[in-house]
Amino acid sequence: MKKVSILMLLTLILSIIPLNAGTALASGLIDSSSVQVSLTNQNPDVARPGEPVELTVSIKNVGTKDLKDITVEITPEYPFGKVSGEALKKHT
């Protein structure tokens, strides 16, 4: 019985530790930069082979630290390719 009680107590303590770390991160006690990239729009909605598709993405800082001097670059890989006259790199 004593072993079961000790095991249950140890399990309870170990399950609380990740909650404390998550709470510290959510409350801003831990400084970090984190970027979230999301597809905002695709035009046309259905992509057809050989025809261009325009993708709009949004980039959001979901961290607690400011991000400065950001460069976003797209490296197309098959089956995607660069459309002439369009930039694949943007600096903000």
The pLDDT score that the predictor gives to residue 22 is 54
pLDDT digits over 26-50, tens only? 555 567 778 888 889 999 988 888 8
pLDDT digits over 47-80, tens only? 888 888 888 888 888 888 888 888 888 888 887 8
**In a shared domain, residues 40 and 58:** yes
Please determine, for residue 87, whether its predicted confidence score (pLDDT) is greater than 60.
yes
**In a shared domain, residues 12 and 39:** no
Q: Which residues contact 85 (CB under 8 A, 6 or more apart)?
A: none
The pLDDT score that the predictor gives to residue 59 is 86
**In a shared domain, residues 5 and 15:** yes
**In a shared domain, residues 13 and 57:** no
**In a shared domain, residues 2 and 40:** no
| Alpha carbon distance 72, 60 (integer Å) | 12
Q: Which domain holds residue 18?
A: 1-30
Q: How many domains does the chain have?
A: 2
**In a shared domain, residues 7 and 44:** no
